[in-house]
Chain A
Amino acid sequence: MTHFDAATAAVEAALAAGARYADARVMHRRYESMSARNGEVEALDQDEDAGIGVRALVGSGWGFYAVPDLSDAAARGAGTAAATIAAASAQVPGPGIDLVPAAARTGSWASRCEIDPLSVSLSDKGDLLVSATAAMRDHGADHAEGLYQIWDTRKWFVSSEGHRIDQHIRESGGGISATAIGDGETQRRSYPSYRGDYGTRGWELVAGLDLVAHAPRIADEARALLTAPRCPTGTTTVIIGGEQLALQIHESVGHAIELDRILGWEAAFAGTSWLDIAKLGSLRYGSELMNITIDPTIPGALGSFGYDDEGTPAAPRDAVRDGIWVGVLAGRDSAAGAGLDYGGSVRADGWARIPMVRMTNVGLRPGPHSLDEMIAATDDGIYMDLNRSWSIDDKRLNFQFGCEIGWEVKGGKLGRMLRNPTYTGIGPQFWQSMDMLSAEIRPWGTPNCGKGQPGQVGHTGHPAAPARFTNVRVGVRG
């Protein structure tokens, strides 16, 4: 019995139990992670999971059931259970659910991978983390941490509309962090970001980071931050580095344009959105430099795939064009509910979870400037980078971010290092103040996006580059 056979059996059972639509995903995933601390390996984990998740639509209600058993009987049982659960939703019914039309697809897709990350020896991987963390420790870090993570995922998708798709997605990434402990506070520096950078790539991504070479620098900076002057309090011009801007995009654009949030489906937990679907196509989100795309086709970016978990082929789409909001992240049901004609952004974090609207790669198109030009053009401001904390309200409007490090910008030059830099603002006001944007775009990977109940962890990509913003409130502290 093939995995396609199991998925087909599950769909057949759901239809037989009364579903008017059903789909099933068989998934088999291997995960490996290693962490090191202060020159010693701390943990090595190699996990494997496999199972089938079935989604059934009965009347106006979805039902979902998942089991870690790929036998014919288990798959059929899961399909029946999904339809039964969906039928129970009729006790509290809602409006009818439609799905935007989708042509039946048969296809196969695999992410690009130059070096199979699971084929690299554990001792080589361990040596890398041990060397990097030892170097940070030797350069004054009180706590030196290193981490890599690898996911190798295969999926087989079947729908009652005739989809039959398999995918093989390999994701890799890693990073290092140095923490210095002072009197009553800690300072941290990371490379390339806290918990690392990730992509749909092989071990070549981690090898290319050259963690050991960057270890002494970040340890030195963490120590230096303990005695650096505090970020001043006030309103000023802020240049934000690419890694931090990637998270700014994630939190204040990516989540805000999720259609399930806009429709209120996430109101009780993740929240809603300040965006009103009636203003799609006319609302000014940011300055004319702001061009955001939803693009799951970017080679190697963490949010890339061939098909989403409803079988919709990956395709790029504008979300913000010349500062105007023009697109959303949607699934087939939410799109139909909003009167739109496209889905394509629905994924689940495993076979045991229902697919939901998720970011793919949501990021900026390149601007006309460079970081050097921004600094040179700034008489008085602050340059800050690498995220340390993030918080945003449930409508995705009011945010406050803390960064690991900042520098004064005076007279067009970088000045003193600043500790505890923070900035806060309101999304559209902030984005409308963006007056310079670098062309140095890089797709940062975020492997820890939480959403949904039960919770799901999404992997998203965010092309971003340094950008300059004016009249930003900085230096908020407790």
Chain B
Amino acid sequence: MTEQSEQLQLAEQVLDLVRAEAGGPIEAAVSVDHQALALTRFANSYIHQNVADATTKVRLLIHADGRTAAGSTTRTSSDGLQGLVSRTVAASRVAPRDPGWPGLAPAEPLAGSGNLDDTTMGATPADRAGRIRSFVDAAGGLEVAGYCRTLHWMGAFANTAGQAVTGATTDAAMDGIARLRSADGVFDGVARLAAVSLSDVDGAVLGARAAAKARAGNDPVELPPGRYEVVLEPAAVADVLQNFAIFGFNGKAYAERRSFAVLGEDQLDPLITLIDDPLNPGDLGLPFDGEGTPTGRHILVDAGRTNSVTFDRRTAAQAGEGAQSTGHYGAAEARFGPCATSMRIETEATGPVSEVDGPVLDSAAAELVANVMRGVLVSDFWYTRVLDPKSLVITGLTRNGVWLIEHGEVTRPLTNFRFTQAYPAALAPGRVLGVGARPTPQPNGWGAARWTAPALHLASWNFTGGASG
């Protein structure tokens, strides 16, 4: 499966099989996704896992006589496709009725075809290993761990309502830590970057950044729990965006009143504008969703005011009041609802951003640190989980480096905190004291998503415990 045109032919072929099998009126949609994923993983400063796969999956959705069924297969032989069609048509005949069926996506042109890069598409195991070699060398003898990943996706979609589209995109990412071992323990620093092109991923820059953080982590002290002013670096802000996407701006959660989002209300600070835009040149590049709806630019929060949420066709129908799909259907996440996959915090460019000495990510984050009288610099969050989805109270931990800021300077490393914090409250009007000048694309640890986040200076973060409990 090498060409998008072949994929579209395959999708049309499956629709023909459906029509023949059904023998009557039927609505059907077919998506064909081909993914070539390669990931080279390192730990203890050497490559210990090195994997790749190339997989095509055909997914079929059928609605007939008020009943709906879906199925998928990786078997693209004639037998495999006929089997998919036969069992899905059969399932649609005996499935319980589906009164919430929203209908198929109409024929509609795409806003783009994807973000495709030849370097990423043609990346070899040696290309990935080379970046890891650079990361290891730049860490200057510190133990390192992480991965370098490349992904090439091609997809086609066709349905019986006349929508027929194709697209392709690439994704590259590197995520690594450096580890300083001392008599006081092990101290980790992190560097993380996602890009369309592997050529934009510099292992040496990332390795040096992670090592600088690790070296600045030695001999930490434990601060008492409490509310502290914070500077969150992009890796930590990415977690905020991810939880906003899943629990806040998810159209299903919104329609069911499980979300904090209230359209038209000033819920976040005026400094915060949130945009989901997969076709932005540096972003994920998925041009249509699993229902064939074109993706595009959606302003979720405009200068603090909640402006929109993300819908697929079913949740848009549930929401009523003229809501339309925003192109956020994800088959795997259908039960959880449609989520943004390419969210970013809009920033105003203020000039060049450079690397800096010490544990702070870059000069953009350092500008925020300079405005803190006493607070905490947080590199990364870990294992964040929702205590209440509506207020979006989250518990989690800091990871990969946390420092005390005094009088605008990083003064000493801290041990990790546990926190329990309502995320919308942390970004509420008046609580955002600064937005960093450089948003950094962060890879998602789980699934196809990207969070482009600047550092944030927040008035308060509720740390509920230290490393000792």
Contacts and interface: CB of A to CB of B under 8 A. Distances in A.
Contacts of A269: 147, 175, 445
A121 B48 CA distance: 46
B53 A92 contact: no
A394 interface: yes
Interface stretch (A37-45, A154-162, A288-296): A37-45
A92 B464 contact: no
- Chain B interface residue bracket vs A: 35 or more
Nearest to A36: B96
A269 B55 CA distance: 25
Interface in A333-378: 352-354, 356
A41 B463 CA distance: 42
Contacts of B125: 63, 84-85, 88-89
B50 A89 contact: yes
A5 interface: no
Among A43, A62, A142, A353, which residue has the most Cβ atoms of chain B within 10 A?
A43
A66 B55 contact: yes
Interface string B35-54: 00111111111111111111
Interface stretch (A6-14, A277-285, A298-306, A450-458): A450-458
Given A268-B146, A391-B397, A41 B70 contact: no
Nearest to A389: B385
Interface stretch (A102-110, A122-130, A309-317): A122-130
Contact of A43 (B70, B94, B393): B70
Contacts of A50: 74-75, 80
A391 B47 contact: no
Among B40, B88, B462, which residue has the most Cβ atoms of chain A within 10 A?
B40
Contact of B395 (A49, A66, A127, A400): A400
A466 interface: no
Contacts of A476: 395, 420, 464-465
Given A47-B71, A85-B51, A186-B258, A478 B420 contact: yes
A130 B96 contact: yes
Contact of B51 (A450, A454, A477): A454
B228 to A, nearest CB: 14
A478 B421 contact: yes
B91 A122 contact: yes
B50 A91 contact: no
Contacts of B128: 88
Interface stretch (B97-105, B162-170, B354-362, B402-410): B97-105
B73 interface: yes
Contacts of A40: 96-100
B287 interface: no
Given A84-B125, A89-B129, A398-B469, A352 B55 contact: yes
Among B46, B50, B72, B136, which residue has the most Cβ atoms of chain A within 10 A?
B50
Interface in A113-144: 121-123, 126-127, 130, 142-143
B335 A424 contact: no
Given A49-B74, A68-B75, A92-B136, A35 B130 contact: no
A17 to B, nearest CB: 13
A439 interface: no
B378 to A, nearest CB: 14
Interface in B19-75: 37-57, 68-75
A468 interface: no
A134 to B, nearest CB: 11
Nearest to B42: A92
A123 B96 contact: yes
Interface in B143-197: 143, 145-147, 149, 175-177, 179, 186, 188
A185 B390 contact: yes
B82 interface: no
Contacts of B83: 48
Contacts of A213: none
Contacts of B388: 185-186, 420
B211 interface: no
A429 B48 CA distance: 34
Given A44-B91, A393-B382, A393-B416, A425 B57 contact: no
Given A142-B257, A186-B388, A353-B51, A429 B469 contact: yes
A174 B51 CA distance: 33
Among B42, B88, B175, which residue has the most Cβ atoms of chain A within 10 A?
B42
B220 interface: no
A450 B256 CA distance: 27
A46 interface: yes
B468 A265 contact: no
A424 B334 contact: no
Contacts of B143: 264
B330 to A, nearest CB: 12
B133 interface: yes
A212 interface: no
Interface string B379-405: 000111111111101111101000000
B95 A44 contact: yes
A46 B87 contact: yes
B5 interface: no
Interface in A430-478: 450, 453-455, 473, 476-478
A287 interface: no
A43 B445 contact: no
A49 B83 CA distance: 12
Given A68-B75, A142-B256, A147-B335, A391 B50 contact: no
A49 to B, nearest CB: 4
Interface string B204-245: 000000000000000000000000000000000000000000
A450 B446 contact: yes
B258 A65 contact: no
Nearest to A143: B256
Contacts of A450: 446
Contacts of A48: 71-75, 80, 83-84
B379 to A, nearest CB: 13
Nearest to A41: B96
A267 interface: yes
B50 A62 contact: yes
Nearest to B331: A45
Which 3 A-B pairs give the minimum distances between C-beta atoms? A94-B46, A88-B125, A126-B96
Given A86-B50, A89-B47, 14 more contacts: A48-B75, A48-B83, A49-B72, A89-B48, A92-B133, A94-B46, A123-B95, A130-B96, A267-B188, A268-B145, A268-B175, A391-B383, A478-B421, A478-B464
20 contacts: A40-B97, A48-B84, A68-B76, A85-B52, A88-B50, A89-B47, A92-B132, A127-B96, A184-B391, A265-B44, A352-B53, A388-B387, A389-B385, A389-B386, A391-B383, A391-B385, A391-B418, A394-B382, A453-B445, A454-B149
Interface of A: 35-36, 40-51, 53, 60-68, 81, 84-86, 88-89, 91-95, 121-123, 126-127, 130, 142-143, 145, 147, 179, 181, 184-186, 263-269, 271-272, 352-354, 356, 388-394, 398, 400, 402, 420, 422, 424-426, 429, 450, 453-455, 473, 476-478
